[in-house]
């Protein structure tokens, strides 16, 4: 006789308690409330007195998928979050001072199943076709010219630049409409079950006690549940990524918003600039060993545009990952699970990955240790792969003009990254593993932008006659140039499609 499916051990719906709000808390609450409905009883506890880091304003394309899964209309979402479109990131002064390169979200050229387009481009260079690799990427050329439009058949790959605080408020309204309950209050204690060691309840300053079956730790760097009470452990990766401090500030907009984020390297780290509809997000990331807080703030304020709108937000962090991001009946979401500096805009993406992965693995009755082990393995692997991509920017550099860059150039890096770099350097090949986040073209653009050029290429490129190769390369360039020429100005397109000011005036 076949065993019967396991049913819920409790007679009431599974009680899920989200500790903390902000982007992480409300992304989790909105997705669970919209997906699970009456199958769960969802409560979020947050305090208006506790601030959020609030610097995750630049995103990557999978956020559009998350929004679609939740049935969020894009134009409404962008109006509510003062968002602009993002086609990639401009990196200034990373390989050498005075030089820039662009990491776009698009495909470059046209791949063959056996080899990426870079192999045909490299062969073309050997034949005297000296056009830049950039000219074969639609998103990259559109970004440089400040243009954007939705194209048929998802012909433009893009993400968003948004106000993360407004995004959290937008998701809160949605989650509450779908049945989530918000409780205002500061968590004063975490009550553990004496027998199992699981979390039994949260205790609030008011004396209220919030019981639950599954707890989501969205308390940010404090990691109040997963670390302070359950001691899940943390892998420190600061020996690979030495920046440990950041300062964020917002300024008024002084020019039309461009469809890309800028990452500007300096002698002890880098600075970001993110153009939204109503303002610009700015920040400096640095290593406190080489730059103190006062000098970092002076440098930041000396390289911004427009009047400052808020007081500077000073942030200290240790790059790394929680060893167990699901431990007992607690799941870490967002910064409580680890921190990857915002160089490639992965903070909101890691929240999204954890939330959607948890929903797919939502337990019916008791938590399965197999689920926990699989969740932790996948989460940790995601973060390791992102870590390697971030390290690449620091390690592969010709800069030796400061102690910081000399340290980065000389540091040992993970074997997994060494293999990626040397494989590309020797053969022009990039292999991705287990659905890793960054596509082949991302690795190609950043490695070549940082100065790693392949010594050879796939022999299939030589299958083309010289005239066939010339025609292929010219056709791709001309198609990109023609399409970009037809695109409207990005700022004008945003204004007509989802302009927040226009909507408010109406």
Is residue 119 within 8 Å of 92, Cβ to Cβ?
no
pLDDT at 504: 42
pLDDT at 363 over 50: yes
Whether 318 has a pLDDT exceeding 90, the answer reads: yes
Domain coordinates in residue numbering, the chain: 11-237+322-506, 245-316
User: How does pLDDT run across 46-56, given as a tens digit for each residue?
Assistant: 998 766 655 66
> Tokens 């049913």 map to which residue?
7
Strands laid side by side in the 280-286 sheet: 100-104, 88-92, 261-266, 269-275, 280-286, 245-251, 313-316
Residue 55: the pLDDT is 61
Lowest mean pLDDT among 12-26, 67-81, 208-222: 12-26
62, pLDDT greater than 50: yes
- Return the minimum-mean-pLDDT range out of 1-10, 60-69, 190-199, 474-483: 1-10
Rounded to an integer, what distance in angstroms lies between the CA atom of residue 337 and that of residue 246? 19
| Averaged pLDDT, 418-434 | 95
Cα angle value 414/242/62 (rounded, 5°) = 70
Q: In this model, does residue 8 exceed pLDDT 70?
A: no
Q: In this predicted structure, what is the pLDDT of residue 435?
A: 82
Q: Which band of pLDDT confidence, cut at 50, 70 and 90, is reported for residue 505?
A: very low
Element (H, E) at 45: strand 40-46
What tokens were used for 174? 């949605």
In this structure, are strands 159-161 and 84-86 parallel, antiparallel, or unpaired? Answer: antiparallel
Q: Give the tens place of pLDDT for each residue, 125-152.
A: 999 999 999 999 999 999 999 999 999 9
pLDDT at 49: 75
Looking at the chain, the whole-number percentage of residues with pLDDT higher than 90 is 91
DSSP single-letter state for residue 172 = H
Q: Work out the average pLDDT over 262-267.
A: 98
* pLDDT beyond 60 at 11: no
Range 335-364 average pLDDT: 95
pLDDT band at 506 (very low <50, low <70, confident <90, very high): very low
Using a 10 angstrom Cβ sphere, with 0-12 exposed, 13-18 middle and 19 or more buried, the burial of residue 492 is: middle
**pLDDT at res. 13:** 60
pLDDT band of 365, cuts 50, 70, 90: confident
Question: What pLDDT does residue 500 have?
Answer: 82
Lowest mean pLDDT of 51-65, 123-137, 199-213, 298-312, name the range: 51-65
pLDDT at residue 362 greater than cutoff 70 = yes
Would you list the DSSP string of 80-119? HHT-EEE-EEEEESSSSTT-EEEEESS--S--BTTB-HHH
What is the Rg, in whole angstroms, of the alpha carbon atoms belonging to the chain?
Answer: 24
How far is the C-alpha of 104 from the C-alpha of 133, rounded, in Å?
Answer: 12
Mean pLDDT of all residues in 338-357 = 96
Q: What are the tens digits of pLDDT across the range 111-131? A: 888 999 999 999 999 999 999
Rounded Cα distance, 500 and 492, in Å: 12
* pLDDT of the residue at 51: 62
Residue 63 binned pLDDT confidence (cut-offs 50, 70, 90)? very high
Structure confidence by residue, pLDDT tens digits, 430-460: 998 878 999 999 999 999 999 999 999 999 9
pTM as predicted: 0.94
240-254 pLDDT, tens digit per residue, is: 999 999 999 999 999
- In the CATH scheme, what architecture does the domain 11-237+322-506 have? 3-Layer(bba) Sandwich (3.50)
Phi, psi for residue 30 in degrees, rounded to 5: -65, -45
């Amino acid at each position: 006789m076949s065993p019967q499916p396991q049913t819920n051990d409790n007679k009431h719906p599974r009680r899920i308690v989200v500790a903390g709000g902000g982007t992480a808390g409300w992304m989790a609450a909105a997705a669970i409330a919209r997906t699970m409905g009456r199958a769960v009883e969802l409560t979020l506890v947050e305090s208006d007195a506790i601030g959020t880091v609030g610097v995750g304003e630049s995103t990557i394309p999978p956020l559009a998928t998350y929004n679609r899964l939740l049935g969020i209309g894009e134009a409404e979402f962008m109006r509510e979050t003062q968002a602009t479109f993002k086609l990639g990131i401009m990196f200034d002064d990373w390989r050498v001072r005075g030089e820039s390169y662009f990491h776009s979200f698009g495909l470059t050229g046209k791949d063959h199943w056996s080899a990426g387009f870079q192999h045909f481009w490299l062969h073309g260079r050997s034949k005297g076709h000296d056009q830049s690799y950039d000219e074969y990427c639609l998103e990259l050329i559109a970004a440089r010219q400040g243009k954007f439009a939705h194209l048929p058949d998802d012909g433009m790959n893009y993400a968003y630049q948004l106000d993360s605080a407004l995004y959290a408020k937008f998701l809160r309204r949605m989650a509450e409409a779908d049945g989530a309950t918000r409780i205002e209050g500061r968590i004063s204690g975490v009550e553990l079950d004496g027998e199992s060691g699981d979390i039994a309840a949260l205790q609030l300053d008011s004396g209220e006690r919030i019981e639950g079956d599954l707890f989501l730790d969205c308390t940010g760097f404090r990691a109040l549940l997963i670390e302070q009470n359950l001691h899940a452990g943390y892998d420190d990766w600061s020996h690979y990524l030495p920046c440990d401090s950041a300062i964020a500030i917002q300024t008024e907009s002084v020019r039309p918003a461009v469809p890309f984020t800028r990452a500007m390297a300096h002698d002890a780290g880098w600075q970001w600039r993110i153009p939204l509809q109503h303002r610009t997000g700015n920040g400096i990331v640095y290593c406190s060993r080489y730059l103190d807080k006062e000098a970092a703030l002076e440098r930041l304020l000396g390289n911004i545009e427009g009047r400052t709108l808020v007081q500077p937000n000073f942030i200290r962090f240790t790059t790394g990952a929680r060893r167990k991001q699901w431990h007992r009946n607690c799941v870490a979401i967002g910064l409580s699970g680890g921190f990857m500096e915002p160089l490639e805009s992965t903070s909101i993406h890691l929240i999204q990955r954890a939330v959607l992965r948890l929903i797919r693995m939502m337990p019916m009755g008791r938590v399965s240790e197999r689920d926990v082990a699989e969740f932790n393995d996948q989460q940790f692997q995601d973060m390791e792969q992102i870590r390697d991509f971030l390290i690449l920017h620091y390690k592969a550099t010709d800069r030796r003009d400061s102690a910081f860059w000399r340290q980065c150039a000389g540091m040992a890096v993970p074997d997994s990254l060494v293999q990626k770099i040397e494989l590309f350097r020797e053969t022009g090949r990039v292999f991705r593993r287990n659905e890793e986040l960054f596509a082949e073209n991302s690795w190609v653009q950043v490695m070549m932008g940082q100065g790693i050029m392949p010594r050879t290429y796939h022999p299939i490129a030589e299958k083309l006659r010289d005239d066939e190769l010339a025609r292929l390369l010219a056709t791709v360039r001309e198609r990109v140039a023609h399409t970009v020429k037809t695109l409207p100005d990005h700022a004008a397109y945003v204004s007509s499609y989802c302009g927040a000011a226009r909507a408010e005036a109406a």
